[in-house]
Amino acid sequence: MSDLRFKLTLAYDGTACHGWHSGRSGKGVSDHIEKALAGLFPSAPGLVGSSRTDSGVHALGLVAHFDVPENEVRLPARRLAAALNALLPPEIRILSAARTCQSFHARFGATSKQYRYQVWNHPVMNPLLHQRAWHVPQALDIGKMREAAPCLTGTHDFRAFTSRRDGTLVDSTRTLTRCEIRRSGALLTFILRGDGFLYKMCRGIVGTLVRTGRGQMTPDDVRQLLADPTIRTRGANAPAHGLVLWKVSYRPS
CB 45 within 8 A of CB 55: no
Give 232-251 as a DSSP string: --TT-PPPGGGEEEEEEEE-
Structural domains in the chain, CATH included, are 3-100 (3.30.70.580), 111-250 (3.30.70.660)
* pLDDT recorded at residue 231: 73
What pLDDT was estimated at residue 103? Answer: 95
Residues of the chain scoring pLDDT < 50: none
Element at 9 (helix H, strand E): strand 3-12
Tell me what pLDDT residue 234 has. 56
Q: Which residues of 219-251 are buried (b: 16+ CB within 10 A; e: fewer)?
A: beebeebbeebeeebeebbbbbbbbbbbbbebe
Distance CA 202, CA 217 (A): 18
| Average pLDDT of the chain to the nearest whole number | 93
Is residue 220 annotated as a catalytic residue, yes or no?
no
Catalytic residue among 3, 13, 54, 221: 54
Helix (H, G, I), strand (E, B) or coil at 199: coil
User: In whole angstroms, what is the distance from residue 106 CA to residue 109 CA?
Assistant: 6
| pLDDT at 152 (0 to 100) | 97
Collapsing DSSP states into helix, strand and coil, what is residue 151? helix
pTM of the prediction?
A: 0.93
**Beta pairing partners, 175:** 155
Task: Please tell me the predicted confidence (pLDDT) of residue 235.
Answer: 56
